[in-house]
A = this chain, B = another copy of it.
């Protein structure tokens, strides 16, 4: 199978140039002027950019939460991702106290195998630093290729781990070569504030935001950074929502701590006032951390530009407005947290970031793909358009204008968080390992075509044959 993409403008995290791309089977083999190979399918990308396929390092598909399950699973979720220009996701594999990590991973393989239309990997939650968990961990990293570990500092009495667990996980991460990730909010404070609000009859969605103040996020972020420095380990802070938390990351980086920060499209373009929408519609905008006061957006954009924050995740976690979100009709704390972002992650950043001059085209590629590939052991097979890389390529028309809407999106969920938002730019076709998964805006992939990727350890790269070492 041979393909030549002609007339496009290739964009990597560093370079922007016109050239043809020659693909053999799953792999980019040549990049140059006027490439012509007999028998190759010719794809005309005139007027389009060629981006490396997006990598979404933060998704929750088919995930149970608060007595329900996310509406989108590995099939609908990855299909929507592909429409949006994402060709790899890394999903969070949840674990429970007392149960083996192995069984959790198996559960996640069951959820995804035969369903995913694009490639995927797993992060592994660490809920307790017990001897059993620590004993099982090397196998997960080295044999299962799960080279990132997630710790929650919030969701008291549910996911929340204490500092001992976080510290032990950091030590393990350092020793095993796994990147530790945190949901950074002070769960104890939040738990108090939530209970108090409910008790006082403050049950509307806006209280979700008011009971999770930015200080609680900044504090936990700073604490996790301190523990990272003390353990000489490495840390990735998911879904940074506000200036105060971003500052803690910048400060730690300046002090030589190996720490990275992710934000999400929702924090860049939506704000706390959305939670005040009438008729319970605010529930659509319930994330943790919550949407913040609008002024934070400029700070976050600048943090992306100046390199304080390094990646963009979707935190995809979709629940129907009708039938799921309304579990919290009378009590905001029962609203399932999260929203549908996986499909629009790339487009929103392109339209609001590149088109509005807030970040460069190369930064856009780094943020949506390359940096995640490097941090999570997918590089150089993923995250770039270069000789030897997987042919995960997005042919992106930068000028088309469209309006985001649940009426036209490809997720299963019944609303879209960006409903009515005008964006410029859209993927036309998307290749996953050399095959069209989207062609001329039509889905041409197949459930099960996505492969699970055993990722390389932190600080190392995948081999040509995608083995870890």
* Interchain CA distance A424-B307 in the complex, whole Å: 30
Report whether A162 and B188 are in contact in the complex, using a CB–CB cutoff of 8 Å.
yes
Partner of A219, one of B35, B226, B461: B226
Partner of A15, one of B12, B255, B306: B12
Given contacts A32-B32, A33-B30, A226-B215, contact A17 B386 (CB under 8 A): yes
Interface string of A163-188 (1 = CB under 8 A from B): 11001100100000000000000101
Q: Contacts of A366 on B, CB cut-off 8 Å?
A: 14
CB distance from A320 to the nearest CB of B (A): 33
Does A380 make an interface contact (CB < 8 A)? Answer: yes
Which one of A42-50, A106-114, A139-147, A246-254 contacts B?
A246-254
Interface size on A, residues (CB 8 A): 62
Q: How many chain copies?
A: 4
Partner of A167, one of B32, B188, B230: B188
Report whether A254 and B306 are in contact in the complex, using a CB–CB cutoff of 8 Å.
yes
Does A16 make an interface contact (CB < 8 A)? Answer: yes
* Interchain CA distance A16-B162 in the complex, whole Å: 40
Chain B residue with the shortest CB-CB distance to A28: B32
Interface string of A235-250 (1 = CB under 8 A from B): 0000000000001001
A-B contacts, 24 listed (Cβ < 8 Å)? A10-B387, A13-B14, A14-B370, A17-B389, A19-B388, A30-B30, A30-B33, A33-B388, A163-B188, A164-B192, A186-B223, A213-B230, A215-B229, A219-B223, A219-B226, A223-B223, A247-B254, A250-B250, A250-B254, A253-B307, A254-B306, A254-B308, A255-B302, A256-B298
Q: Contacts of A299 on B, CB cut-off 8 Å?
A: 256
CB distance from A162 to the nearest CB of B (A): 6
CB distance from A28 to the nearest CB of B (A): 9
Interface centre among A163, A229, A247, A299 (most CB of B within 10 A): A163
CB distance from A282 to the nearest CB of B (A): 23
Q: Contacts of A229 on B, CB cut-off 8 Å?
A: 215
Q: Contacts of A305 on B, CB cut-off 8 Å?
A: 256
CB distance from A210 to the nearest CB of B (A): 12
Q: Contacts of A12 on B, CB cut-off 8 Å?
A: 12, 14-15
Q: Contacts of A164 on B, CB cut-off 8 Å?
A: 156, 188, 191-192
CB distance from A135 to the nearest CB of B (A): 16
Q: Contacts of A192 on B, CB cut-off 8 Å?
A: 164, 167-168, 171
Q: Contacts of A303 on B, CB cut-off 8 Å?
A: 254
Does A31 make an interface contact (CB < 8 A)? Answer: yes
Report whether B387 and A31 are in contact in the complex, using a CB–CB cutoff of 8 Å.
yes
Report whether B218 and A226 are in contact in the complex, using a CB–CB cutoff of 8 Å.
yes
* Interchain CA distance A189-B16 in the complex, whole Å: 39
Does A22 make an interface contact (CB < 8 A)? Answer: yes
Does A76 make an interface contact (CB < 8 A)? Answer: no
* Interchain CA distance A308-B254 in the complex, whole Å: 8
Does A222 make an interface contact (CB < 8 A)? Answer: yes
* Interchain CA distance A168-B192 in the complex, whole Å: 8
8 A Cβ contacts from A196-251 to B: 213, 215-216, 218-219, 222-223, 226-227, 229-230, 247, 250
Chain B residue with the shortest CB-CB distance to A229: B215
* Interchain CA distance A305-B257 in the complex, whole Å: 10
Report whether B31 and A32 are in contact in the complex, using a CB–CB cutoff of 8 Å.
yes
8 A Cβ contacts from A368-385 to B: 370, 380, 384
Does A331 make an interface contact (CB < 8 A)? Answer: no
Report whether B384 and A14 are in contact in the complex, using a CB–CB cutoff of 8 Å.
yes
8 A Cβ contacts from A383-397 to B: 384, 386-389
Report whether A302 and B256 are in contact in the complex, using a CB–CB cutoff of 8 Å.
yes
Q: Contacts of A15 on B, CB cut-off 8 Å?
A: 12, 14, 380, 384, 386
